[in-house]
A = this chain, B = another copy of it.
Amino acid sequence: MAENIERLKELDSEIQRLSNIAALLGWDQETYMPEGAVEERSEQKALLEGMIHERITSPEMAKIFSKLGLSESKAAVSGLSVTGTDQAFLREAYRRYRLQSKLPTKLVRRIAKETSLALAKWAEAREKADFTIFSGNLETILTLVREKADALGYEEHIYDPLLDEFEPWMKTKELQEVFQNVQKSLTALLSRITASGTRVESGFLKREYPVDKQRQLSLGVLKSMGYDFKYGRLDLSTHPFTITLGSTDVRLTTRYDRSFFPKGLFGTIHEGGHGLYELGIAAELHGSLLADGTSMGIHESQSRLWENFLGRSRAFWRWFYPRVKELFPAVLADIDLDTFYRGINRVEPSFIRVEADEVTYNLHIILRFNLEMSLVNGDLKVKDLPEAWNQESRELLGITPPDVSLGVLQDIHWSMGDIGYFPTYALGNLYAAQFFRTLKRELPRAEAEVEEGNFSAILAWLREKIHSPGRVYTAGDLCTRVTGETLNPDYYLQYLEEKYGAIYGI
């Protein structure tokens, strides 16, 4: 038993290193790679992904799992004489083996190659606001994604294995129920806000904020949050992301808009939240597959907690606003703290998801979830997608994007083949609210410390409860361990009611 697990750990450690190397190829492509190298890079990525896949599904792996008594019909590790971290390691290793061994190497390599090509086409299509540049690539990707879902297998819904890739163990049906409730409550809250007649000023956010000073602010906030630049960087990319190139190398990207202040700063804080999660994983898990976020929903709970629950709170700005005013004294001369706080929390249906307020954000996700479901089950054709997007946008948000760059082409995810990913953003908000409520109960001084720009106790709490275990607990288990109950969307809705009730006087 012990011997088999040791050998598994050795094999896993090489797989982790290769994945970290693959991550560098991706980071470089998004930041510094010369444009002419895109085809060759896609070949390199495909080769590496193929090699990783071969290792995960190697005959030696198969033999070890079979010796350990694990099989498709007996996949649970709970009955085995192994406990603690080793049990979690075995659970995750076998899960990965089982899923990946259902995928032919050829398919994995094709997906890696096609998505790398699609990424460049998507960027071009978005820039030119021309969906047809990208639609052929998206069709190819959807065909491959359906092949993948079929290979992985499912009982209820073709979307199940796709969702499971990002939010392990969660089913489409469960998600649909959560989203139905959330959608109902959010549309109701949005109507009340709109009907309140309260005017929230936010035009000052679109004044001129020089990019070099925005960058200075971003770096300063990350440092205050506890992000350690000895083990990371902040670069520019079209779509901000956090990427793990190793346990000692977790990099962030952001982008700045000279004429829209929130974009750069909140994008940075968001990625900072992801980065702190990855850098907070316990050292004894380093180099293994347990050194990872336990689900994308939990990962997103960390970015949203920093971006919104802390970053858009009044306490945060009591500390931070004087600093911002120092950097932009003329631009913000006529704006007081209260006006600023209300401005960055203004609720208004808008086109771009990553810039959406906390009330409408999850509606953006539900829109994408609905379209993904229709695309993968074949109800919706790629050629009809832009119009379907606009239709959903009118129904959920009451607005129609003027062009595809503000609509269907705004997100990078589909070009990367990441279908099933979007829902985890909404789950992140829900988990964040539930964690934040517990945090505030267990750290009564949290708000006062935020007002002093002191995040050390908060970070220590997050590390102990959420970051350090990495993937040892499943998302559901972690949620129960930390908060005492399973996922409960009510906390998010309560949080919104309270915060936006105060701002809009409803």
Contacts and interface: CB of A to CB of B under 8 A. Distances in A.
A333 B119 CA distance: 50
A231 B44 contact: no
Interface string A18-45: 1011001100100011111101110110
* Candidate in A17, A25, A32, A40 with the most chain B CB atoms within 10 angstroms: A40
Interface stretch (A191-199, A241-249, A296-304, A375-383): A241-249
A35 B247 contact: no
Interface residues of A, number: 34
A41 to B, nearest CB: 7
A230 interface: yes
Nearest to A229: B34
Given A32-B233, A231-B34, A44 B25 contact: no
A228 B231 CA distance: 33
Given A21-B44, A24-B28, A36 B233 contact: no
What is the oligomeric copy number? 2
Nearest to A40: B246
A51 B442 CA distance: 50
Contacts of A34: 229-233, 248-249, 251
Contacts of A43: 17
A249 B21 contact: no
Contact of A17 (B24, B44, B231, B248): B44
Contacts of A39: 248
Contacts of A32: 32, 233, 235
Contacts of A17: 43-44, 47
A48 interface: yes
Contact of A36 (B33, B40, B44, B249): B249
A490 interface: no
Interface in A78-98: none
A10 interface: no
B28 A248 contact: no
A14 interface: yes
A139 B14 CA distance: 29
Contacts of A40: 20, 246-249
B233 A41 contact: no
Contacts of A35: 230
Contact of A231 (B25, B36, B48): B36
28 contacts: A14-B47, A17-B43, A18-B47, A20-B44, A21-B21, A21-B47, A21-B48, A24-B24, A24-B25, A32-B32, A32-B235, A33-B249, A34-B229, A34-B230, A34-B233, A34-B248, A34-B249, A36-B228, A36-B248, A36-B249, A37-B245, A37-B248, A39-B248, A40-B246, A40-B247, A40-B248, A41-B246, A44-B246
Interface of A: 14, 17-18, 20-21, 24-25, 28, 32-37, 39-41, 43-44, 47-48, 228-233, 235, 245-249, 251
Given A14-B47, A20-B40, 7 more contacts: A17-B43, A24-B25, A36-B248, A36-B249, A37-B245, A40-B249, A44-B246
